[in-house]
Amino acid sequence: MQIGLLSDVHANLPALEAVLDDLPADLDAIVCTGDIVGYSAWPAECVQLIRETCDVIVQGNHDREVDTPNPYPDNDMAQAGLEYAASELSAEQIDWLGDLPAGTTVFDNRLHVVHSHPENTDRYVTKSMYPQVSTYMDESTQILALEHTHTQAAVNIAKFDRHGWVVNPGSVGQPRDGNPKAAYAIVDLDSPLVQLHRVSYSIDEVKRAHEQTDLPEASATRLEKGI
């Protein structure tokens, strides 16, 4: 069973469209591990497109906090992105984001999906922690998919006397691993196997949109270096 994994779209429609165009046509399902909105200029469009194309969707912190007053007082880029999202999303879209599950296990328990840490919500899980968080996988779980760090990575935990993989597909719309290309992953639940992918998109289009909407310039220019 072939699954496309994508995450942290952050309202970056050009990046999301590039990833969806790059995905193989014969996938059995597409899974989103959260943070559809925030930072960039197309929150409503990205929510609509994710709802139309993804079979499994969990809630990221920006999805949860879009209707929360001043959730990021010390992060101007995050705060501005959420304020813009709240102004652009419909009430129904905001309610839908708020009702998303924090995590789920699907496909006969073979794929466990969360946004951040499986138990400690909003905790960053770095690659060095993958063997530790793999203890949250049931015996039948082949893949634990998470994100939140905006850093693409995958570890086969068989070397730690366990089975399966822990996978971070990377960020579609706000990569922070030094690679400006939009990130996603494809996993085979039968093997299991993991393939990490990157695809280019027009960052200039994002920069123009930020200029037109008064979103912080830095939220767009940082995309050029993937930081």
- pLDDT attached to residue 69: 84
- pLDDT attached to residue 168: 98
- pLDDT attached to residue 155: 95
- If DSSP codes are grouped into helix, strand and coil, which group holds residue 62? helix
Distance of alpha carbon 11 from alpha carbon 220, whole angstroms: 11
- pLDDT attached to residue 159: 64
- pLDDT attached to residue 194: 96
Q: What is the pLDDT along the chain (227 residues), one digit of tens a residue?
A: 999 999 999 999 999 999 999 999 999 999 999 999 999 999 999 999 999 999 999 999 999 999 998 889 899 999 999 999 999 999 999 999 999 999 999 999 999 999 999 999 999 999 999 999 998 998 889 999 999 999 999 999 876 666 789 999 999 999 999 999 999 999 999 988 999 999 999 999 999 999 999 899 999 999 999 99
Assigned CATH topology for domain 2-224: Purple Acid Phosphatase; chain A, domain 2 (3.60.21)
- pLDDT attached to residue 28: 98
- pLDDT attached to residue 70: 87
Q: What is the pTM of this model?
A: 0.96
3-state secondary structure 117-163: CCCCCCCCCCHHHHHHHHHHCCCCCCEEECCCCCCCEEEEHHHHCCC
CA nearest to 40, candidates 72, 74, 13: 13
CA nearest to 172, candidates 54, 3, 5: 5
- pLDDT attached to residue 169: 98
- pLDDT attached to residue 161: 65
Tokens standing for 66? 């879009």
